[in-house]
């Protein structure tokens, strides 16, 4: 009886060794396959979204509110959204390359808390020539107030832990994704290779057509 038990134990032990060796061999043979690299998300759950949440096409813009190029592209992005109101949404990720950018970002985030994100953003971008690349963004505050922002409440909440977290995470993602200039656009995960209104429109249109 003891001999039979010993034999069964040895067989089971050998099976375990064989299985372990097979798993190791299988993994080692898989090294020729492309590695699956976890990419930094282009969209965070807190990211501002303008347009339908369920739109099949997502434009992600790495955006600096103090960047003149971002201001130049801003009306074209609005035109593209207007051309596909039910098919396209815009997600903004913040980039802080210029003076005044962080305060402007914190300002528009408080506008989101007050439910007036887009009108305040529109006003701030329209007034950008008056405060661009200047640590004094008084003109931006004035424009935001004219669009309905409660400035006193905004100043009280602009340095909240929640907004701190947004600024810090976006900065980390900008570095991880490798953003070196603004604006940088992705459409359904595909990077716009050449910056221009027509190039962006064509890429968005191709994604809209393929989503039908």
Q: What is the pLDDT of residue 20?
A: 39
Q: What is the pLDDT of residue 175?
A: 95
Q: Are residues 150 and 192 in the same domain?
A: yes
197, HSE (Cβ side, Cα atoms, 13 Å): 12
Q: Where are the alpha helices (DSSP H) in the chain?
A: 2-29, 68-83, 101-113, 117-126, 138-146, 151-157, 161-177, 197-210
Q: What is the pLDDT of residue 27?
A: 34
Please indicate, yes or no, if residue 44 is contained in any of the structural domains: no
Whole-number mean pLDDT of the chain? 86
Q: Are residues 9 and 92 in the same domain?
A: no
Summarised one tens digit per residue, pLDDT across range 23-78 is 333 333 333 333 333 345 899 999 999 999 999 999 999 999 999 999 999 999 99
Give the residue-averaged pLDDT of 111-120.
Answer: 98
Please indicate, yes or no, if residue 198 is contained in any of the structural domains: yes
CATH of the domain at 104: 3.40.30.10
Q: Are residues 27 and 53 in the same domain?
A: no
**1-5, 24-28, 129-133: segment of lowest average pLDDT:** 24-28
Q: What is the pLDDT of residue 102?
A: 98
Please indicate, yes or no, if residue 125 is contained in any of the structural domains: yes
Please indicate, yes or no, if residue 40 is contained in any of the structural domains: no
Q: What is the pLDDT of residue 40?
A: 56
Tell me how far apart the alpha carbons of residues 151 and 155 are, in angstroms, rounded to a whole number: 6
Please indicate, yes or no, if residue 43 is contained in any of the structural domains: no
Summarised one tens digit per residue, pLDDT across range 12-24 is 444 433 333 333 3
Q: What is the pLDDT of residue 29?
A: 36
Work out how many domains the chain is built from and give that number.
2
Q: Are residues 9 and 102 in the same domain?
A: no
Q: Are residues 66 and 165 in the same domain?
A: yes
10 falls in which pLDDT band (50, 70, 90)?
Answer: very low
Q: What percent of the chain has a predicted confidence (pLDDT) above 90?
A: 80
Please indicate, yes or no, if residue 138 is contained in any of the structural domains: yes
Structure tokens at 106: 């914190």
Tell me how far apart the alpha carbons of residues 82 and 76 are, in angstroms, rounded to a whole number: 10
Summarised one tens digit per residue, pLDDT across range 154-206 is 999 999 999 999 999 999 999 999 999 999 999 999 999 999 999 999 999 99
Give the residue-averaged pLDDT of 77-83.
Answer: 98
Summarised one tens digit per residue, pLDDT across range 193-210 is 999 999 999 999 999 999
Give every CB contact of residue 114 below 8 A, 6+ residues apart in sequence: 148, 149, 150, 153, 154
Give the residue-averaged pLDDT of 101-130.
Answer: 98
Please indicate, yes or no, if residue 39 is contained in any of the structural domains: no
State residue 82 phi and psi, 5-degree precision.
-70, -30
Q: Are residues 19 and 102 in the same domain?
A: no
Provide the terminal-to-terminal Cα distance of the chain, rounded to the nearest Å. 71
Please indicate, yes or no, if residue 37 is contained in any of the structural domains: no
Range of the domain at 11: 2-32
- What is the three-class DSSP state of 22? helix
């Amino acid at each position: 009886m003891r001999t039979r038990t010993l034999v069964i134990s040895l067989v089971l032990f050998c099976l375990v060794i064989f299985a372990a060796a097979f798993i190791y061999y299988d993994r080692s043979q898989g090294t020729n396959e492309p590695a699956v690299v976890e990419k930094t998300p282009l969209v965070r759950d807190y990211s501002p979204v303008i347009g339908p949440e369920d739109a099949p096409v997502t434009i992600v813009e790495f955006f600096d509110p103090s960047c003149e190029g971002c201001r130049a592209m801003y009306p074209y992005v609005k035109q593209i959204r207007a051309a596909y109101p039910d098919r396209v949404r815009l997600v903004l990720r913040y980039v802080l390359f210029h003076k005044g950018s962080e305060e402007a970002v914190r300002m528009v985030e408080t506008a989101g808390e007050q439910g007036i994100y887009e009108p305040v953003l529109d006003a701030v971008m329209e007034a950008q020539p008056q405060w661009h690349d200047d640590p004094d963004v008084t003109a931006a505050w004035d424009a935001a107030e004219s669009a309905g922002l409660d400035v006193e409440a905004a100043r009280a909440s602009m340095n909240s832990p929640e907004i701190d977290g947004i600024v810090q995470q976006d900065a980390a993602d900008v570095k991880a994704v490798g953003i070196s200039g603004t604006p940088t656009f992705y459409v359904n995960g595909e990077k716009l290779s050449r910056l221009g209104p027509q190039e962006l429109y064509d890429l968005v249109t191709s994604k809209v057509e393929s989503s039908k």
